[in-house]
Structure 1
């Protein structure tokens, strides 16, 4: 087109527009550049962005779809709508409804990539584990790695990767969602969301802090809140974290697949302040003001319907943690409303053993290795358990023994894991069967458990031990209360040492075969005892019995009623007749009887004899296993109104069935009142008479030997029979 033609064409344009379209003028080229930039920005760039988004996923065998890409080249804004990425099996692994990026030109002034806003709405992320080290994300990253142009483009291993200079004035996630599935854990599935995240002034410039705020809700009704400050270069963060509601429910469900029990809970409340930093490549962390509580925690063994452990509330107050100092602690840990079921199973194992994973094997530790736990300094100001209920059962017994430890309280103070620490301890409980137990002392844990303190039993009811008694003796323990006050001690070289006093009141032991009293007393008092299990020794002061009762009958074969009550072992092997005391040293400082009653009979005599000795009083001298002298027996009592009875003898504690001698002397017995036997003489009944009787018994080789002298005086015969 020549100049004339140009002029002719321009004449058809408005006068104000013609100068702008004159190609010879710079303004014309500016208009062209503006138009091309706008066309490219509004139409070409969105296509390029969409293509670049899809390309890497297509190369890895995945599918990426984008509904729409919007670019405003003049405001430097990018908006991507409806992005979805599907895995090779057509499962959605990533999506969002809207991604918005607002770039600012002041990046040129700051010499840093500056964004007014980067935000995403309804972002969804899905992760799935197929095997131990096989996940969807891992497969995707491996596919990306295989699609790289060349390995030479990767940075050298020793080359540090510097973060770009970046400023994001607002980084936000609105209503995000994260789901996870683990096929190795029984197809465990969980979803967390909506997730809301807001970070203000996030920068990679040195020493610049940003403000972050995040909230996560779980499908089970839990919520996690996080807010504070975040600095990327050098990295540091400080703030607060809070968990509320059923935030741990998904964790409980996941753990169920790996543990032999299930955990459930009504909710948690956890809040803490934290600080994190990287100093010279090392992590420095601290936690302060950690307060946590759980409600309604239940632990149930697999295949059981009733919970093994129930905790109404667990509270931790004033928790702290410091790294790399390796220090952790808390002001207090309180457990309220604990209920625990403890059972000794028929196979001899505790039901609590079922809490341990069957595949767990302890790693061998060299004797010279230091326990890594000791590298940590752990402190707890106070551990309190109140009120607790423990159900105890022994299913080896028939019927099973069952007793509850009620109103159990435990306070342990000044706990730490340093060797040699002694922690004040206070323990108290009552038994459902009757009685109270308490312990006040000090407990040590490292390097080996130690215990020392004052132990007390108050009116402990003994009939609860009936199932154990039945395994040894066919007798019924219908009454009896044990009280004891003792100082106890346990140490690595001291299994148990105890010293104190005890009282056993109102004992009533009955013959289960004849349903008659067998043994009992009103009160047994022991002012002092010293027991040492390591030395297998027991020393006591004098045993004082008040109003004791015993029934001893000898049959025609010179077997006692006590022998008839002994229970034979299940394999029908007779009980070992040897008297094998489990003590290497036994010393009893004598036995005193006051107001005793002995129901005695001997059918092995030529003249069967039976008498009830009343008001039997006297002593048995010291019994000691380390003494060559036998203990002497000297008792005196009364039979009916005018009869007298004297019992003497010698006993050796370690050879009761080998070298025991007892003499029973009866004088002035009224024969007419000797029951339950009807005494006859020359075919006539005896109406009256006096009887003097000397009975001598010796035990040799576990056999009862006897000799007797009988004198009858003032005999009066009755009717012929």
Structure 2
């Protein structure tokens, strides 16, 4: 407790004076009888001095009377008046009901004491309370024209503050509701409060005439504040208790004494404390000291400072301490600040009960300083450990941290529009930010299949952060994925304009984690694979374009992909290395000196619906994509450069141990084969004309086959020309049985295939020829197939097979590679089956081509005889010689024939032969000439003229009419007929003549087969035709 006040001293002085005055007054009133007993000299003396001593009695009496009145007023009137005025004023201005247990005043110590004070509002709830209020004013300070407070004590005060639903404070609301005139007056005075002419350095005495105030000692003990916030759906209550405040040695005027001291302590809840202490001087105003917050609950702080944000800081404890200096000239300075936040959890919205968006176990900030006059904030270091951040992208593409903040962005822009006009702009600097042991959870729901990616053990260090957006910031980032893949970034960046210069290292990054993003473009599943990158990244935002470059070694290892809907492998490889990868962003250029691709394996699946697996890789709308691709292709100009969005250059692409697996499920029984050990290189591959890549690849087909691909590839993605030559050898044919069975109706028993395919590809249009050679090709048992050719397949193959047992054919092929229904193998086999069918149905045309004899299939397939004759005409003999040569080229072909005769032609001709007349075999015209001349010779000109007249005038020219020849024969022989058996014998002789001629020309008799003669042969152009039928041996 402080020392005795000046009022107490004055009170003692006054009481002493009263005692002495009363003592003298009693002595002055001694009775006369007493004085008469004294000696005469003494009496005389008393009589002489008595008149001179009467005035002190009256002075003392007056003083005593004044003191009694003053005491009565101070001890009785003042408490009585306060007891009446306090309730009246509280009711008038606030609408409160007040009560006091006791009010006492001491006029000699100039003190007032109130005990048991309480005030209730209109709802009957206590709004303010104090166990004791004591005020002691200094008496001596009044003689110095000052108000001196020797002692101010407020014990156990209680105050209830309520914030209403509209943000109004209960005390202010009670004031406005109960004294509107005072509120209006206060507002008008407040509006004129800044019109004074005094500068900030002038004293308060000169500016306002306020009475100087000196506070020697002021104390608040065991205080309590109940803060109730009714904003929001639920009412929140905050209790601050106990509150202790101590203030001493403070004056409102300049003095030569030391600055005053103050101490403030407040506790919120259980262990949340505020400690504020230091020195303070009011004239001039300045203060310095320490400020400390201990264990402050983050939700209590955030309830007031963050309620208008979409973020909810629900958990966390805050410690903060700092030195400060404050004055009316130097304004505010904070130094040596330290901030600590523990066990912090931040949610995106107050209604969210999901995982917190931000968790920080420990955050420390050291070296905090702030200078208000310079508007400058400096932070030595910020460190955080064991933190996690949740980033979400919603279905509409908005981020969880930015969705609600963007809604208020326009207001923020407007409010800050005048900041450029401030005399001093705000600046800040953070020397270092170190984040350790962090976790980032990324959840993307904007995809068709939500993605979840977690990055662990994030270590981030930023250096030299400032409010200057073009100041470089150092960055060092290290990340470990949930798959144990790691990433590192070291360099520096600026925010505006955005620039980045850094080295980047990625190691063992699992590609499967990014499956959901791959699904947006293709229907592939990344079953396995890792990504590695070691290089540099340089970016520079030259609005509106981002420039820069990326350069480094990129590799993807152990990659396995499969088609989602088919559950079938699609593409996999052991290693893919780009050494190096160079990307220039503006203009976009990709330059790769070398690509080494080891162990790639591509599985081509032909689906039952006829489409292929490649068409299933892209989006579901295949027709739309195909149309789009055709539009882009058609839109290219003559050079094709205008439609290519970037330049691609690959100097060398090397393949090692590549494989292609063909799996055809569209055919009954299925077909699988494998092209493997495929190695080689592509040189100068790109997408810019006139760049043309050279390609050479070698590999194996199935178990024993081989394959070589050579040629040139035009600019990728353009209507450029590619020329390729594919040579295959020793390819087993039996595995092709499903195709052969479909188109030929037979299984394959044996055979080997050799190919020489020459292709020209312009854009996506394929045009080429296929030289196909089948060695030892033999068919097995018959197979029912509705698509098989309706022709003697064995005969057709025999006709195609040369003397060495080899079938060599040239098959053209063309089509659009972008058409999902285009099947290369089906086109080849369909063409081949058509060739076999044509050979089987027109065998002699093929045989004639072997010996360079043109004409129709009938030229070699029939041997013509003159009517009634078995002698081979010279022309027919020549054709049999050519047929023999052709058959010798096709040793698998046998020949069947039978002798024939035509009774209508051969009968009359045999009768004429018996007369010694032979008919020509050169054709119908020479035959008719012979018959007409013979008729004129035997019967005269009139007989011929008679027949001519009898002939139908619409029958056409005589010389080309078989009916006219028949008429002449009947006229010449009349009713005569040949000997019985003559027609059969003629047929036999004709067959023998054909056989003899073939054997004489060198054909093996074992390949000839004579069948029974027939006497119902056909006649063409006046010749009796003996048909020849090839067969397979």
TM-score relative to the length of structure 2: 0.62
Who is 2:248 aligned against? Answer: 200
Match of 1:441 among 491, 511, 518: 491
Match of 1:272 among 316, 322, 326: 322
In structure 2, distance between residues paired with 1:101 and 1:150: 29
For the 8 Å contact 2:684–2:691, the answer to whether it is kept is no
In structure 1, distance between residues paired with 2:694 and 2:675: 20
Query: Is residue 105 of structure 1 aligned with residue 153 of structure 2?
Result: no
Deviation at 1:296, TM superposition (A): 1.2
1:146-197 per-residue CA deviation (whole Å, 9 max, x = no partner) reads 3599999999953732442222221001122223344444544433222110
Who is 1:341 aligned against? Answer: 390
* Comparing 414-423 and 545-554, the one that deviates more: 545-554
Who is 2:615 aligned against? Answer: 563
Query: Is residue 305 of structure 1 aligned with residue 353 of structure 2?
Result: yes
For the 8 Å contact 2:515–2:526, the answer to whether it is kept is yes
Deviation at 1:633, TM superposition (A): 2.1
For the 8 Å contact 1:536–1:582, the answer to whether it is kept is no
Query: Is residue 175 of structure 1 aligned with residue 222 of structure 2?
Result: yes
Alignment of 1:306-321 (within 5 A): 306=354, 307-321=356-370
In structure 2, distance between residues paired with 1:635 and 1:184: 77
In structure 2, distance between residues paired with 1:153 and 1:685: 112
In structure 1, distance between residues paired with 2:712 and 2:76: 119
Report the 3-state secondary structure (helix = DSSP H, G, I; strand = E; otherwise coil) of the residue aligned with 2:712: strand
Who is 1:146 aligned against? Answer: 181
1:106-132 per-residue CA deviation (whole Å, 9 max, x = no partner) reads 325655322221111122233334475
For the 8 Å contact 1:537–1:583, the answer to whether it is kept is no
Who is 2:562 aligned against? Answer: 510
User: More strand by proportion, 1 or 2?
Assistant: 1
Match of 2:597 among 529, 540, 545: 545
Query: Is residue 62 of structure 1 aligned with residue 62 of structure 2?
Result: no
For the 8 Å contact 2:689–2:715, the answer to whether it is kept is no
In structure 1, distance between residues paired with 2:279 and 2:380: 27
* Comparing 575-584 and 501-510, the one that deviates more: 575-584
Deviation at 1:692, TM superposition (A): 1.0
Long gaps (5+) in structure 2: 1-25, 36-52, 198-206, 634-642, 784-1033
For the 8 Å contact 1:309–1:341, the answer to whether it is kept is yes
Deviation at 1:74, TM superposition (A): 2.3
Who is 2:405 aligned against? Answer: 356
For the 8 Å contact 1:272–1:288, the answer to whether it is kept is yes
Report the 3-state secondary structure (helix = DSSP H, G, I; strand = E; otherwise coil) of the residue aligned with 1:644: strand
Match of 1:380 among 426, 430, 447: 430
| Distance verdict in 2 for CA 1:236–1:555, change over 3 Å | closer
Deviation at 1:354, TM superposition (A): 3.9
For the 8 Å contact 2:687–2:717, the answer to whether it is kept is no
Report the 3-state secondary structure (helix = DSSP H, G, I; strand = E; otherwise coil) of the residue aligned with 2:101: strand
Who is 2:66 aligned against? Answer: 33
Query: Is residue 634 of structure 1 aligned with residue 735 of structure 2?
Result: no
* Comparing 213-222 and 266-275, the one that deviates more: 213-222
Deviation at 1:709, TM superposition (A): 2.2
In structure 2, distance between residues paired with 1:368 and 1:111: 47
1:57-101 per-residue CA deviation (whole Å, 9 max, x = no partner) reads 344263443332111222332211233344455554433221111
Query: Is residue 392 of structure 1 aligned with residue 435 of structure 2?
Result: no
For the 8 Å contact 2:691–2:715, the answer to whether it is kept is no
Deviation at 1:504, TM superposition (A): 1.2
In structure 1, distance between residues paired with 2:567 and 2:183: 93
For the 8 Å contact 1:610–1:677, the answer to whether it is kept is no
| Distance verdict in 2 for CA 1:564–1:285, change over 3 Å | closer
For the 8 Å contact 2:226–2:240, the answer to whether it is kept is yes
1:416-455 per-residue CA deviation (whole Å, 9 max, x = no partner) reads 122431121100111113411110000212x322211001
In structure 2, distance between residues paired with 1:289 and 1:612: 74
Deviation at 1:693, TM superposition (A): 1.5
For the 8 Å contact 2:548–2:585, the answer to whether it is kept is yes
Who is 1:584 aligned against? Answer: 646
Who is 1:79 aligned against? Answer: 113
CA RMSD of aligned residues (A): 3.9
For the 8 Å contact 1:462–1:482, the answer to whether it is kept is yes
For the 8 Å contact 1:405–1:432, the answer to whether it is kept is yes
Who is 2:204 aligned against? Answer: none
Deviation at 1:289, TM superposition (A): 1.0
For the 8 Å contact 1:59–1:147, the answer to whether it is kept is no
In structure 1, distance between residues paired with 2:184 and 2:504: 77
Who is 2:213 aligned against? Answer: 166
Who is 1:3 aligned against? Answer: none
* Comparing 538-547 and 77-86, the one that deviates more: 77-86
* Comparing 663-672 and 433-442, the one that deviates more: 663-672
1:587-609 per-residue CA deviation (whole Å, 9 max, x = no partner) reads 1223111222223478999xx99
In structure 1, distance between residues paired with 2:183 and 2:587: 76
* Structure with bigger gyration radius: 2
In structure 2, distance between residues paired with 1:681 and 1:492: 62
Deviation at 1:657, TM superposition (A): 7.5
| Distance verdict in 2 for CA 1:84–1:680, change over 3 Å | closer
For the 8 Å contact 1:510–1:519, the answer to whether it is kept is yes
In structure 2, distance between residues paired with 1:210 and 1:335: 40
Match of 1:457 among 488, 506, 510: 506
Match of 2:474 among 424, 429, 435: 424
Query: Is residue 94 of structure 1 aligned with residue 128 of structure 2?
Result: yes
* Comparing 38-47 and 377-386, the one that deviates more: 38-47
Report the 3-state secondary structure (helix = DSSP H, G, I; strand = E; otherwise coil) of the residue aligned with 1:42: helix
In structure 1, distance between residues paired with 2:185 and 2:364: 56
Deviation at 1:377, TM superposition (A): 2.5
User: More helix by proportion, 1 or 2?
Assistant: 2
For the 8 Å contact 1:62–1:85, the answer to whether it is kept is no
In structure 1, distance between residues paired with 2:705 and 2:592: 35
